[in-house]
Structure 1
Amino acid sequence: MKSARRFLGRAAAVVLAAGGVVLGATATAGADPAPGCTAGDVTAVMTGVSASMTTYLFTHPDVNDFLTSLQGLPKSQAKQKTQDYLAANPQVRDELNAIRQPGVDLRNRCNIPLKTEIANVI
């Protein structure tokens, strides 16, 4: 039951982060968004990334367990542990980067900053 709650908490964080990106993209846009950069487009891409990450974590319990173990740690400690883990597991790093790549491409194509001001409000 605890795992389900943790997963739901993480899923909620991903949804909130995606929402922050969507709101940040629409808030900074000012003019008509570039093709493929509407709030709907951003939401669709981030939903796909989230679904792919969910599938990956459930099919790679070792990675899921590692990421779950980071909950509650100070941000700097979680960041260092993650960097160490990914350095020791380059295949996992590459697979996670591949899953995240559509979001990175979208942010670059649509000029969406990684941290948007609206994301800090949520």
Structure 2
Amino acid sequence: MLINPIPARRILAAAFGALAVFGSVATASAEPLPPPPPPNCTAADLAGVIAGVTAATSAYLFTHPPVNDFFTGLQDKTQEERRAELSAYMDVNPQVRDELRGIRQPSTDFRARCDN
């Protein structure tokens, strides 16, 4: 039995032809990739920011007992009562308000950078 050998040129031409057809089909049907997220906006980055803000808040409250007592006293209040008392407290204590805003600033910056 004789086998007709296929010239290498034909095999290469068929392979390139198949690649060209597959490539054009794959390119035409592929949806565009979503843009990459901004840098440092991963879940791990968020967890790190939250951990830092939480640790700094804890340290602040431990070193400012009257502020800690105020926030501890809000536990049994309704949400409306907490909001009203917190607003009044911050109006009377602008330094505390500004210091707590500074502690929360990394969280604010993360949201501004990553929540597009």
TM-score (norm 1): 0.65
**What is the identity, as a one-letter code, of the residue corresponding to 2:80?**
S
- What are the ranges of 5 or more consecutive residues in structure 2 without an aligned counterpart? 1-33
Q: Distance in 1 between matches of 2:106 and 2:114?
A: 12
CA RMSD in angstroms, aligned pairs only: 1.4
Query: Aligned runs of 1:93-108 on 2, under 5 Å?
Result: 93-108=97-112
* Residue type at the aligned position of 1:94: D
Rg comparison, structure with higher value: 2
**What pairs with 1:1-122 in structure 2 (closer than 5 Å)?**
32-111=36-115
Which structure would you say has the larger RCO, counting Cα contacts within 8 Å and 6 or more residues apart?
Answer: 1
Stretches of structure 1 that go unaligned for 5 or more consecutive residues are 1-29, 113-122
Shift of 1:34: 1.7
Cα distance in 1 between the residues matched to 2:65 and 2:43: 33
Q: Segments of 4+ in structure 1 off by > 2 A?
A: 30-33
Question: Please, what TM-score do these two structures have when normalized by structure 2?
Answer: 0.68
Whole-Å Cα distance in 1 between the matches of residues 104 and 76 of structure 2?
A: 23
1:31 CA drift (Å): 6.1
- What is the number of residues matched between the two proteins? 83
Identity of aligned residues (%): 48
What's the counterpart of residue 120 of structure 1?
A: none
Q: Which structure shows the higher helix fraction?
A: 1
Q: Write the distance in 2 (CA, Å) between the matches of 1:33 and 1:109.
A: 10
Shift of residue 72, structure 1, vs aligned partner: 1.5
